Chains A and B, each alone.
Chain A
Amino acid sequence: MSRVNDVVIKIGTVNGTGSASANGLLMKAIFRMGVPVVGKNYFPSNIQGLPTWYEIRVTGDGYQSRSDRVDIMVAMNAQTYAKDLAEVTSGGWLIYDSTWPRSNLLTREGVTVLGVPLSRMCNEHFEGARARILMKNIAYVGVVAALLEIDLEIITGLLEETFAKKKHLVKQNQDAIRLGYDYARENFTCPLPVTVKPMDKTRGHIIIDGNTAAGLGCVYAGATVGAWYPITPSTSLMDAYKAFCKQFRREEGTDKKKFCIVQAEDELAAIGVVLGATWNGARAFTPTSGPGISLMGEFLGYAYYAELPAVIFDVQRAGPSTGMPTRTQQCDFMACAFASHGDTRHVLLFPASPEECFYSAIEAFDLADRLQTPVMVLSDLDIGMNDWMCPELQWDESYVPDRGKVLSAEELESMTKFHRYLDVDGDGIPYRTLPGVHPKGSYFTRGSGHSKYGAYTEDSAEYKEVVDRLLVKWETARKLVPGPAIKYSKFNRVGIVSVGSCDGAVNEALVRLKEKNIGLNYCRVKAFPFSAEVRDFIEKHDQIYVVEQNRDAQLRALLMLDLEIDPARMVPLLHYDGMPIHAGFVVNRVLAELAKGQAA
């Protein structure tokens, strides 16, 4: 059986040995051939010496999620050889470094083992221990290129771009790739029955990770203050913001910075910095992950009650507690929605891809300013740190930031008296002022009980008036947040509701189910509070499968709480082992649930 542009390559290496660039090279080369790819990095919470895997799914159909299959395993790590062999799908191939013959070489029926003496060839060809190790990890790219017919010229082109300033490295890498390539051509039947053939499906697309896209979004949104405390998997978001700022936010002539990044002492301080900055009129944000959200709790409630904008990125990772810091999950929905004590609730956005991370970032700043409240963007490790193929990011030059209801000096001048928490417009959003603008604008920002005039109060009626008005604002938020993405298959009484990075797996599952004549409708929520369309969608169906990546069905719980939907109508389909969800899981679970329904 031969297959074109439908193959999964997984590479097992040891972290800290330079394999990341080889894997990126392979993936990019396929992408440049016009063939859609999905890349997933499975790495340990460790700096050097532990097993790590990279998975490249070549998907001519342009699916977005990982696959539950491995066709070609490049087993570069002797430690995990047995596990890696076991993982290969029957009919697949395993490539290993045959420099040192293994007496206990494991074989498996149905898996073709291809030995390539990578170390020996590199030792003979290169000088120096470091170069030999690095080149061994590049040489396998050549082997895979030969086996799958990946264009060597494209690979060379990529090397020339990467090492534009270090020409000698181009040659070195090229030689290494050639070693692998030639060996494979001489010793194996190339190509394999699975191949990569040029297509035209990646034009207008890029390969980018969500944290980079979000960091870029912060720059485009006009954020000037970023505060953070490093935590996987959010760190690269601030790294990206910093790198883009260094390029775009220098004052001409002086080279001074039009941004300020505060590496705070912890996440409590990071969110404090953000609130101080937004109080003073800057757009400010903090990227973090679950443990950081826990620490930010008190301040988040403060911001909700004192009505200060803030943008928080929670790049979710597997919990509870420290959990598995380098594994993905969608496990902070509840923690974020109700972060802090008291009657507190927050606006959440759920991007489903790096592309959406960029646009969500901008939307988050607009919503935070408009609603004068924290807005949390919940991506996850899969979106944040993995390379995704997505449409090129576009910029609409007509964009003007929505800074919300901020009174200018002139407006204040013409007012008799300013009161901070009056609902002048009936939308639950009061007017605010910035310090230093006008004497009439001054008020006392506090987390203690306050009246609608902004004065301290312990009076029941005055207190209630303000917290009730916050509910009016909540309903305004419901109208302002992005609505869901809905796909109707055909009229059907069963639907799927899902969120964020499940999207790729659900979409692919819908196609596969359709092949079995099962048509399901699909609603992907993009924000909390849920807009009216989400309720409408759910109400149209007898049964809803809620697909999400956590143990406790947190999205389902939010739907119950926010929309008062009967829990019996919502069946949880939960994937929470730390690996990104895939279509096979969704298909199997849907089939199992449908079968249950028929049995009953």
Chain B
Amino acid sequence: MSYIAKPKVTHPKIPRNNLGLTVRDYEGAVSTLCAGCGHDSITAALIQAVFELGIEPHRLAKMSGIGCSSKTPAYFVSQSHGFNSVHGRMPSVTTGANAANHDLTYIGVSGDGDSLSIGMGQFAHVIRRNLNMCYIIENNGVYGLTKGQYSASADVGTKAKKGPANKQMPIDPVSTAIGLGATYIARGFSGDKQQLVPLIKGALTHKGFALLDIISPCVTFNDHEGSTKSYSHTRRFYHHVIDTDFVPPAAEIKAAYDEGEAMPVELHDGSKIVFRKLDRHYDPTSRAAAFTYLRDSVQRGEIITGLLYIDHESGDMHNLSGSVDKPLASIPYQELNPGKEMLAKVMSRYR
């Protein structure tokens, strides 16, 4: 842990985004997580992604539950509002926040304990609402903050530092999300920032519920020999199914892709996600195919990563319920109050 404040000097040639801000403007407080914790690498990728997207810091809302992972919103974009809620309940708070103001960009950071145990119900239901948010599970297979108990994402056979191997079936957030109807589903690895940044950018731009399940090793409680969520295990079985590029609106798709393999999908704001299939047979727009592929990969012992599924057409919570375009919280009271005359009319029904 380090409590030393970061120096805020910027090099004149440091890159600036469309708002004229540098990546330093998207940093947060100094992390208090263990040195080497996967979560810190995800924080770094998040900073890079929001910087590159040029999101105004104060138009970003950082939501989280409780856990080491849920602490991380304090470590990026300190000029954004944060809501560090209670354990497992970030989805409901984000639902309410979004109900009141759908004009902000919502990042929810959660852990495997936060989302798959105590918060499994809320996780499932926020997906059903297709809430417009980027939902990140920093998945380390343990409860870091309470010192290393198995979480619901622990694989069968994985070994804790002490005690017997896990015997219970894991809950896989990705296949769960496919089953529940999530509209953007990706898996990444905290150790692969290059893959992560476009996945996050896509998730932030996608209009609807975007899940990022990110393997994020806990160096203190789950990075040893025999653990299936360690750095070495993940590196070994890590399998890119799809590489993704995120192309902002109006920008040209530059990278050269092999014919038949590159597949651009346009998002609601005109930006594009370009899939580069490393596996020829994979179809990321078919829910059924994604599900089958995923199940088979588990049998092969592979940790498949990339943007595994996208549906950019389904409406989000507000579309589904038919809300006005203006954020509800910004509607002036005069427009909300039916007035004296109307009340008198209503009264006549009860006479």
Whether B58 contacts A437 by the Cβ 8 Å rule is yes
Residues of chain A within 8 A of B104, CB atoms compared: 280, 435-436
Q: Is A257 an interface residue (CB 8 A)?
A: yes
Report the separation of the CA atoms of residues A284 and B100 in the bound assembly, to the nearest whole angstrom: 9
Q: Is A299 an interface residue (CB 8 A)?
A: yes
Q: Is B321 an interface residue (CB 8 A)?
A: yes
Pick the contact of B96: A216, A227, A251, A254 (CB < 8 A). A227
Q: Is B324 an interface residue (CB 8 A)?
A: yes
The minimal Cβ–Cβ distance linking B296 to chain A, given in whole angstroms, is 31
Residue of A nearest to B103 (CB): A436
Report the separation of the CA atoms of residues A448 and B342 in the bound assembly, to the nearest whole angstrom: 45
Whether A225 contacts B96 by the Cβ 8 Å rule is yes
Whether B84 contacts A439 by the Cβ 8 Å rule is no
The digit string for A218-262, where 1 denotes a CB below 8 A from any CB of B, is 011010110100000000000000001001110100111111111
Q: Is B200 an interface residue (CB 8 A)?
A: no
The minimal Cβ–Cβ distance linking A397 to chain B, given in whole angstroms, is 5
The minimal Cβ–Cβ distance linking A170 to chain B, given in whole angstroms, is 18
Report the separation of the CA atoms of residues A282 and B333 in the bound assembly, to the nearest whole angstrom: 11
Whether B93 contacts A273 by the Cβ 8 Å rule is yes
Whether B350 contacts A262 by the Cβ 8 Å rule is no
The digit string for A561-589, where 1 denotes a CB below 8 A from any CB of B, is 00000000000000000000000000000
Pick the contact of A276: B99, B103, B347 (CB < 8 A). B99
The minimal Cβ–Cβ distance linking B19 to chain A, given in whole angstroms, is 11
Whether B92 contacts A269 by the Cβ 8 Å rule is yes
Whether B84 contacts A269 by the Cβ 8 Å rule is no
Whether A260 contacts B92 by the Cβ 8 Å rule is no
Whether B331 contacts A224 by the Cβ 8 Å rule is yes
Whether A275 contacts B96 by the Cβ 8 Å rule is yes
Report the separation of the CA atoms of residues A33 and B98 in the bound assembly, to the nearest whole angstrom: 50
Pick the contact of B83: A265, A392, A445 (CB < 8 A). A445
Within 8 A of A (CB), among B77-106: 78-86, 89, 91-101, 103-104
Pick the contact of A266: B82, B84, B121, B347 (CB < 8 A). B121
Report the separation of the CA atoms of residues A235 and B124 in the bound assembly, to the nearest whole angstrom: 24
Report the separation of the CA atoms of residues A447 and B59 in the bound assembly, to the nearest whole angstrom: 22
Whether A258 contacts B346 by the Cβ 8 Å rule is no
Whether B96 contacts A442 by the Cβ 8 Å rule is no
Q: Is A281 an interface residue (CB 8 A)?
A: yes
Category for how many chain A residues contact B: 35 or more
The minimal Cβ–Cβ distance linking B176 to chain A, given in whole angstroms, is 15
Q: Is B323 an interface residue (CB 8 A)?
A: yes
Whether B328 contacts A262 by the Cβ 8 Å rule is no
The minimal Cβ–Cβ distance linking B324 to chain A, given in whole angstroms, is 4
Residues of chain B within 8 A of A248, CB atoms compared: 338, 342
Q: Given A208-B350, A265-B125, A436-B104, is A225 in contact with B89 using a C-beta cutoff of 8 Å?
A: no
The minimal Cβ–Cβ distance linking A555 to chain B, given in whole angstroms, is 30
Q: Is B57 an interface residue (CB 8 A)?
A: yes
Whether A249 contacts B99 by the Cβ 8 Å rule is no
The minimal Cβ–Cβ distance linking B347 to chain A, given in whole angstroms, is 5
Residue of A nearest to B93 (CB): A276
Q: Is B351 an interface residue (CB 8 A)?
A: yes
Whether A260 contacts B337 by the Cβ 8 Å rule is no
Whether A435 contacts B61 by the Cβ 8 Å rule is yes
The minimal Cβ–Cβ distance linking B60 to chain A, given in whole angstroms, is 9
The minimal Cβ–Cβ distance linking A411 to chain B, given in whole angstroms, is 15
Category for how many chain B residues contact A: 35 or more
Q: Is B74 an interface residue (CB 8 A)?
A: yes
Q: Is A69 an interface residue (CB 8 A)?
A: no
Pick the contact of A256: B78, B103, B322 (CB < 8 A). B322
Q: Is B343 an interface residue (CB 8 A)?
A: yes
The minimal Cβ–Cβ distance linking A247 to chain B, given in whole angstroms, is 8
Q: Is B271 an interface residue (CB 8 A)?
A: no
Residue of B nearest to A225 (CB): B99
The digit string for B63-87, where 1 denotes a CB below 8 A from any CB of A, is 1000000000110001111111110
Q: Is A400 an interface residue (CB 8 A)?
A: yes
Report the separation of the CA atoms of residues A224 and B58 in the bound assembly, to the nearest whole angstrom: 23
Report the separation of the CA atoms of residues A256 and B338 in the bound assembly, to the nearest whole angstrom: 16
Pick the contact of B58: A393, A394, A435 (CB < 8 A). A435
The minimal Cβ–Cβ distance linking B137 to chain A, given in whole angstroms, is 18
Q: Given A224-B336, A298-B86, is A272 in contact with B95 using a C-beta cutoff of 8 Å?
A: yes
Residues of chain B within 8 A of A244, CB atoms compared: 338, 346
Within 8 A of A (CB), among B98-116: 98-101, 103-104
Most chain A Cβ neighbours within 10 Å, of B63, B91, B103, B338: B338
Q: Give the interface of B toward A (CB within 8 A).
A: 56-59, 61, 63, 73-74, 78-86, 89, 91-101, 103-104, 121-122, 124-125, 129, 317-318, 321-325, 328-331, 333, 335-340, 342-344, 346-347, 350-351
Q: List 13 extra interface pairs beyond A264-B95, A282-B99, A298-B86, CB under 8 A.
A: A216-B343, A257-B321, A260-B318, A284-B99, A284-B100, A299-B85, A393-B347, A433-B81, A438-B58, A442-B57, A442-B80, A442-B81, A444-B74
A-B pairs with the 5 shortest C-beta distances? A276-B96, A272-B92, A282-B100, A273-B96, A206-B350
Q: Would you mind naming 22 contact pairs between A and B with Cβ atoms under 8 Å apart? A: A206-B347, A207-B350, A222-B337, A249-B336, A256-B325, A258-B323, A258-B335, A260-B323, A268-B122, A270-B92, A272-B91, A273-B92, A281-B101, A302-B86, A393-B343, A436-B58, A438-B58, A442-B57, A442-B78, A442-B80, A444-B81, A444-B84
